[in-house]
Amino acid sequence: MIYLDNAATSLKKPNSLYPSILKNTIINSANAGRGGHFYSLRASELIYKTSESLCELFNIKEPEQIAYMQNATMALNSGILGMLDKDSHVIITQMEHNSVLRPVHKTCEYTMIKADKQGRINIKDIEKAITKNTKMIICTHASNVCGTIMPIDKISKIAHRHGLYFMVDAAQTAGSVPIDVQKTDIDILAFSGHKGLMMPMGTGGIYVKNGIKIKPVITGGTGSFSESLEQPDIMPDMLQSGTLNAPAIISAKKSIDFILREGTGEILKKETELSDFLINELNNIKNVVVHSPLTNRNGTVAFNIKNMDSVEVADILNTDYKICTRGGWHCAYPAHCALGTQKSGAIRASFGYFNSKDDAKKLVDAIYKISQKKFKNYV
Ligand SMILES: Cc1ncc(COP(=O)(O)O)c(C=O)c1O
């Protein structure tokens, strides 16, 4: 099988991760932060080391400012529900994922900045949307549908010029696109562990700039201040209640260190070269329409074969050609409205670090044949 669904999760991980998971599941599964004994202290220390690697990756000063969660969805919900209420207004873009859209929709007033047919926004629209109640701007770093990379440096400047918080959804970019929370001046960064960071599933987290207080959605045991009924307001305890997935978080250091060695700049270059190649080739096939931009894009490409259902094409790729992609609406319907694919959805091919040009060539060949109606096993 050829795996081209890295925007959903990275199936293959660095080789160094696998023995580490086995080892840590067996020997480092004591409860971190829950006692003064050897095993608990060791688990806490090793989790801290993973945080130190993340600090290096995102240019974060204090490892304590990172709280671990199960995924980016929990991190985004924490930032949204913990900072906003029915009296606040937030600015989001049309390219957001349901992990932003749904919690925002149920919590506060919002303005959705329109995107063009390739997922790009006009930065001037953001400034125009600010009202006296606006508290925050939330933006995905890259679209999970068509790979468009958003101008987060510019958006951050607008946010801070107006005294607003700036939260970045880095689910599609953490580990595969350079992120510098200090240079970009990011207040809150939500990230998945299991996608570009190549960590095991059930990992993700949130970085919160020192001094920002978030009302926690989940409260409970933190192993600290046990005598108090109030949730501690220091990071990471403020947002990190309950037992952590210690074996996965500890092992994840192997993946992050692999990424640090390769360099996110190089990873982005490699994935973008594959998506550039795919777009160029798809553009030469009659009846194929590409929805991704030519520049400012990562390794994700959205496209359609005219008059064919996107889910059906993804199924044929899977059954006849042994290629894993994803058809449909990718938990981001407004983004599809921007691309003009609200009725059809789109086929999404998303490259990861371990894909090769040969994988891209095989996809092009398969799409050409399907566009010529050459498929057999599909029923
Ligand atoms: C842009 C974006 N935000 C948030 C999420 C949610 O991430 P997770 O699966 O880690 O909860 C996704 C997942 O695909 C995503 O693509």
| Interval 315-352: pLDDT, tens | 999 999 999 999 999 999 999 999 999 999 999 999 99
pLDDT at position 375, please? 77
Co-location of 169 and 202 in the same domain: yes
Q: How far is the CA of 100 from the centre of ligand 1 (A)?
A: 9
Residues contacting 87, CB < 8 A, separation 6+:
108, 133
Residues contacting 244, CB < 8 A, separation 6+:
32, 47, 68
For residue 26, what pLDDT band results from cuts at 50, 70 and 90? confident
Q: How far is the CA of 193 from the centre of ligand 1 (A)?
A: 10
pLDDT at position 370, please? 96
Q: How far is the CA of 192 from the centre of ligand 1 (A)?
A: 7
- Average pLDDT over all residues of the chain: 96
Residues contacting 45, CB < 8 A, separation 6+:
none
pLDDT at position 269, please? 98
| Interval 93-131: pLDDT, tens | 999 999 999 999 999 999 999 999 999 999 999 999 999
Cα–Cα nearest to 99, from 120, 119, 80: 80
Co-location of 330 and 233 in the same domain: no
pLDDT at position 377, please? 62
Q: How far is the CA of 341 from the centre of ligand 1 (A)?
A: 20
pLDDT at position 131, please? 98
Burial (CB count <10 Å: 0-12, 13-18, 19+), residue 151: middle
- Write the single-letter amino acid at 188: I
Farthest-apart Cα atoms in the chain, separation:
70
- The residue nearest atom 12 of ligand 1, judged by CA position, is 171
- Pair type for strands 300-305 and 288-290: antiparallel
Query: Which atom of ligand 1 is nearest the CA belonging to 73?
Result: 11
Pocket test for ligand 1, best of 5, 98, 172, 245 (most atoms within 8 A of CB): 172
Co-location of 31 and 143 in the same domain: yes
How many domains are there within the chain? Answer: 2
Burial (CB count <10 Å: 0-12, 13-18, 19+), residue 290: buried
Co-location of 219 and 299 in the same domain: no
Query: Which atom of ligand 1 is nearest the CA belonging to 169?
Result: 3
Query: Which atom of ligand 1 is nearest the CA belonging to 141?
Result: 1
Q: What is the mean pLDDT of residues 22-33?
A: 88
Burial (CB count <10 Å: 0-12, 13-18, 19+), residue 286: exposed
The answer to whether residue 209 is domain-embedded is yes
Give yes or no for residue 25 having a pLDDT over 90.
no
Q: Which two tokens stand for residue 371?
A: 């566009």
Cα–Cα nearest to 328, from 315, 310, 304, 316: 310
Co-location of 292 and 205 in the same domain: no
Co-location of 186 and 227 in the same domain: yes
Tokens 């789109």: give the residue.
346
Q: How far is the CA of 244 from the centre of ligand 1 (A)?
A: 20
CATH number reported for the structural domain that contains residue 112 in this entry: 3.40.640.10
Co-location of 159 and 188 in the same domain: yes
Q: What is the mean pLDDT of residues 34-45?
A: 92
| Interval 172-211: pLDDT, tens | 999 999 999 999 999 999 999 999 999 999 999 999 999 9
pLDDT at position 346, please? 98
pLDDT at position 194, please? 97
Co-location of 234 and 144 in the same domain: yes
Q: What is the mean pLDDT of residues 349-375?
A: 95
Q: How far is the CA of 97 from the centre of ligand 1 (A)?
A: 7
Co-location of 250 and 268 in the same domain: no
Give yes or no for residue 233 having a pLDDT over 90.
yes
Q: What is the mean pLDDT of residues 249-269?
A: 98
The answer to whether 56 and 260 are in contact (CB under 8 A) is yes
Co-location of 180 and 307 in the same domain: no
- The residue nearest atom 16 of ligand 1, judged by CA position, is 144
For residue 141, what pLDDT band results from cuts at 50, 70 and 90? very high
Alpha-carbon gap, residue 286 to 207, rounded angstroms: 45
Helix or strand run (H / E) with residue 168: strand 165-169
Pocket test for ligand 1, best of 331, 336, 348 (most atoms within 8 A of CB): 331
The answer to whether residue 91 is domain-embedded is yes
pLDDT at position 378, please? 59
Burial (CB count <10 Å: 0-12, 13-18, 19+), residue 134: buried
- Choose the final residue of a domain: 262, 297, 315: 262
Co-location of 298 and 315 in the same domain: yes
Q: How far is the CA of 6 from the centre of ligand 1 (A)?
A: 11
Pocket test for ligand 1, best of 76, 167, 176, 192 (most atoms within 8 A of CB): 192
Q: What share of the chain is helix, strand, coil (3-state, %, to 5)?
A: 40, 15, 45
Give yes or no for residue 379 having a pLDDT over 70.
no
The answer to whether residue 378 is domain-embedded is no
Query: Which atom of ligand 1 is nearest the CA belonging to 96?
Result: 1
The answer to whether residue 196 is domain-embedded is yes
- Choose the final residue of a domain: 262, 290, 316: 262
Co-location of 221 and 242 in the same domain: yes
pLDDT at position 231, please? 97
pLDDT at position 373, please? 86
Q: How far is the CA of 330 from the centre of ligand 1 (A)?
A: 10
The answer to whether 190 and 213 are in contact (CB under 8 A) is no
Q: How far is the CA of 62 from the centre of ligand 1 (A)?
A: 25
As for ligand 1, residues whose beta carbon falls within 6 Å of it are 71-73, 97, 99, 140, 144, 169, 171-172, 192, 204
Pocket test for ligand 1, best of 99, 177, 189 (most atoms within 8 A of CB): 99
**Full residue range of the structural domain in which residue 135 is found:** 17-262
Q: What is the mean pLDDT of residues 240-255?
A: 96
Q: What is the mean pLDDT of residues 227-248?
A: 96
Give yes or no for residue 359 having a pLDDT over 90.
yes
The answer to whether 68 and 205 are in contact (CB under 8 A) is yes
